[in-house]
């Protein structure tokens, strides 16, 4: 088995280029890193183009033998620790990453779901990843992103999703306002957060709603606010005026889950 030790190796150059969004878009590929994410990619039958293993990490037994058996079925390359450190974005890497296809995301919105999550200008990769993970935990299968959101295939976003990215249909909208107008025609109500709202997130029936989460600093844009059927706020008893975008999304998603669980129990 040959171990790659040169930074000039063409495969290594290719992997490094996948850190750039433009190249990810051109190739329709992205990177997943870490034992859990690579294992989940295999279990979710994601199209895996290449798996890279740090030779030293393999030798010290940090990667389970069962996973090594699985990755041996794929195009697998081994690299030195120095080379792996040159391609990883993680401070303490686990010594394994994979190049995978983005998959066949469908632009058509599934209107059979009770709620649909739409993100308006979410910029922080950590926030986006956490929102995707929360949506997955509530068994939501799709999410709509405005064109100015962070790239969902950014390595930090991918890590933050903890595997949820493999199970979500990510729809990028070039014009979120028009997309939401179309959704209203399908009998969905647009639900936006607003500090000026009089209704609480706890006052809403979450059936057939589009929950819009706004930009971290500006909130939901004025155009989307004007389009909204319902505006709500999250009650806060302390002096803090607003919440982190991913926290706000989680509260609203789980208010939907609470109603769903209560309905099943009745």
Q: CA-CA distance, 143 to 122, in Å (whole number)?
A: 13
Domain 3-101: assigned CATH number: 3.30.1330.30
Least confident of 20-24, 117-121, 231-235: 231-235
pLDDT tens for 49-71 read 999 999 877 555 578 888 888 99
Q: What is the pLDDT of residue 250?
A: 94
- For residue 75, give the DSSP letter: -
The structure tokens listed for 215 are 């930009």
- Domain boundaries of the chain, sorted by first residue: 3-101, 115-265
Was domain 115-265 assigned CATH 1.10.3720.10? no
The structure tokens listed for 115 are 């709620």
pLDDT tens for 249-262 read 999 999 999 888 87
What is the per-residue burial (b if ≥16 Cβ within 10 Å, else e) of 230-257?
Answer: ebbbbeeeeeeebeebbebbbebbbbbb
């Amino acid at each position: 088995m040959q171990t790659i030790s040169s930074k000039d190796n063409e495969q290594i150059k290719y992997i490094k280029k996948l850190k750039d969004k433009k190249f990810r878009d051109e190739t329709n590929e992205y990177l997943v890193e870490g034992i859990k994410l690579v294992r989940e990619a295999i279990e979710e039958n994601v199209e895996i183009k290449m798996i890279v293993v740090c030779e030293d990490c393999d030798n010290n037994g940090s990667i389970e033998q069962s996973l090594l058996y699985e990755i041996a079925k794929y195009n697998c390359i081994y690299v030195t620790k120095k080379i792996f450190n040159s391609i990883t974005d993680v401070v303490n890497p686990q010594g394994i990453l994979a190049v995978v296809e983005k998959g066949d995301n469908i632009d058509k919105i599934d209107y059979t779901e009770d709620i649909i999550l739409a993100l308006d200008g979410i910029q922080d990769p950590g926030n986006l990843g956490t929102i995707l993970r929360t949506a997955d935990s509530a068994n939501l299968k799709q999410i709509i992103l405005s064109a100015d959101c962070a790239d969902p295939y950014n390595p930090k976003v991918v890590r933050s999703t903890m595997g949820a990215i493999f199970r979500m249909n990510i729809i990028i909208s070039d014009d979120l306002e028009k997309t939401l107008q179309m959704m209203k025609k399908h009998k969905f109500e647009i639900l936006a957060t607003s500090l000026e709202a009089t209704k609480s997130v706890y006052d809403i029936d979450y059936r057939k709603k589009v929950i819009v989460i706004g930009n971290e600093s500006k909130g939901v844009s004025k155009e989307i606010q004007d389009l909204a059927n319902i505006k709500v706020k999250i009650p806060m008893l302390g002096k803090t005026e607003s919440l982190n975008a991913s926290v706000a999304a989680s509260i609203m998603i789980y208010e939907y889950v609470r109603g769903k669980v209560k309905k099943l129990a009745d």
